[in-house]
Amino acid sequence: MKYILSVLLIIIGLIALLLLIALIHTLLTPNRVSEYVSPPADERAETYAKKLSAMVRCDTTSHDSVADPERFEAFHKVLEELFPRVHAELEKNDIDGNLLFFWKGVSHDRPIVLMSHQDVVPAEGEWSHEPFSGDIDDGKVWGRGSSDTKCSVMGFFQAVEELLGEGYVPPQDVYLSSSCTEEWAGDGCPKLVAELKKRGVKPYLVCDEGGGIITDPVAGIKGNFAMVGVFEKGKADVLFTAKSKGGHASAPGKNTPIARLSAFVNEIEKKDPFRRKMLPEVQAMFERLSPYASFPLKFVFGNMWLFKPILLKVMPMISSQAGAMLKTTIAFTMQSGSDAYNVLPQEATLGANMRFIPHQGKDESLGIIKALADKYDLSIEVFHATDPSESVDTQGEAFKYVESVIAKTFPGLPISPYVMTGATDARFYQEICDDVVRFAPVVYGPEQMAGMHGLNENIEYDCLSGCVDFYKNIIREMK
């Protein structure tokens, strides 16, 4: 008994010592506050808002595997009217509606690609401003695509337009890339990459959308932060099918199709089959944000050496977004069965969207789900499957270059690496570029985040001047 008591006292003492070390480290770490806000909108910002409004008014909704060239031809005419110098002086390539502009630089060994997509998701439901009105009201540009992502398309076209007006020649080759199939993971961007590959172009840096200047990025951390996406998770759409002989609902048997699908979903919801891991990029994010957090979060995030195992367990309960950075996820999104209340279905289906984490990639994650589907006698069909992208080296030259441009453009704005749980066209550029960052230089507050793919999408136009300046700086600062 005395021996057990002694061991317990040693353990308690050790825990107390570790907590004391963590506390001292936290107290010695200076508190920081993100004070960056966009400057008040001036005449310049209003000019940019009008250009973005014109782009939003052009409906560029895209649908899976549906070609709609006239829709994008109309948008291209709008771009030509808004940015005449770009169209007159740069080499333009239109590949099935996907745009690639080439601006020849003084040198050609470190070309950069600035990119964002033209297409938007369908606009459904009741909007306070019509989805393709492009209304400018209450300091915002309203409409589908205003934040996702015609704002950044406007930003880099306008940046080049202004530099051309100054007679400027970039130090390195510049490419402007914009696909019309991003929203359904289509073949638009791969066609642009194939064109660059054919030319032997290996970009030094690609800058796409994905991250951004995010307001209050994590609960308990207030202010604006430059969240720079360094990789994105893989993805797949998965269809599960349960079959039977059907029958009349008055005499149901056991294990009917819907019952089996329900049991399958219930098991996954109750017992997550995927392994959690704190990736280096995620840990770096929490550590960079920790000085800006309230004391309890600062204590935890600033001492990952001690609290990492606890965070792995509790983070998904605190924030679904943060939890998704730790593991593969599966979201059940679509379901069908019988067409009548009194008929047992001969076939019922369940659709799901999966997002794969690097430590359990596409093959392993799908294998886990297939084994569970087999348990409930479900067939499985997989569509659009991709592995996670390679991560940008956050200690590398290209990432540090992006950090320096952000610091120059947005003084006082804290910068952090960020793991994208969504998918973008950027992943296609991994084939020819080692450093593909995801950062749209506009401010996304809670309202803008909710509006993406949702109702009442908008962007506050006071941030548009900074957006244009970022793209000008990323071109000018290249050596």
State yes or no: pLDDT of 2 exceeds 80: no
pLDDT grade for 94, boundaries at 50, 70 and 90 = very high
Beta-carbon contacts of residue 245 (< 8 Å; ≥ 6 apart): 346
E-assigned strand segments in 180-289: 205-215, 224-232, 234-243, 247-248
Structure confidence by residue, pLDDT tens digits, 270-310: 999 999 999 999 999 999 999 999 998 899 999 999 999 98
Contact 418, 304 (CB under 8 A): no
Q: Which of 175-179, 293-297, 455-459 is the least confident region?
A: 293-297
What's the pLDDT score for residue 252?
A: 85
Structure confidence by residue, pLDDT tens digits, 406-415: 999 999 999 9
Torsion sign over Cα 452, 457, 462, 467 = positive
What's the pLDDT score for residue 159?
A: 98
What does the pLDDT average to over 416-434?
92
What's the pLDDT score for residue 175?
A: 98
State yes or no: pLDDT of 4 exceeds 80: no
State yes or no: pLDDT of 7 exceeds 70: no
User: What does pLDDT average to over the chain?
Assistant: 94
Place of tokens 């606890």: 310
Residue type, 326: L
First vs last C-alpha separation in the chain: 71
Sheet holding 329-336, edge to edge: 329-336, 347-356, 234-243, 379-386
The pTM is what?
A: 0.91
State both tokens at 355: 């997002």
Structure confidence by residue, pLDDT tens digits, 344-377: 899 999 999 999 999 999 999 999 999 999 999 9
The β-bridge relationship of strands 234-243 and 347-356 is antiparallel
State the Cα–Cα distance between residues 175 and 93, nearest whole angstrom. Answer: 11
What does the pLDDT average to over 312-318?
82
The candidate with the shortest Cα–Cα distance to 458, out of 128, 79, 125, 61, is 128
What's the pLDDT score for residue 10?
A: 73
Give the 3-state DSSP-derived string for 276-312, with helices as H, strands as E and coil as C. CCCCHHHHHHHHHHHHHECHHHHHHHCCHHHHHHHHH
What's the pLDDT score for residue 316?
A: 80
What's the pLDDT score for residue 236?
A: 94
pLDDT grade for 475, boundaries at 50, 70 and 90 = very high
Residue type, 347: E
Structure confidence by residue, pLDDT tens digits, 34-66: 999 999 999 999 999 999 999 999 999 999 888
Structure confidence by residue, pLDDT tens digits, 217-261: 988 899 999 999 999 999 999 999 999 988 878 888 888 999 999
State yes or no: pLDDT of 9 exceeds 80: no
State both tokens at 168: 């400027």
State the Cα–Cα distance between residues 224 and 445, nearest whole angstrom. Answer: 8
Domains and CATH numbers, the chain: 43-215+389-476 (3.40.630.10), 234-275+330-387 (3.30.70.360), 276-326 (no CATH)
State yes or no: pLDDT of 184 exceeds 80: yes
State both tokens at 403: 């950090």
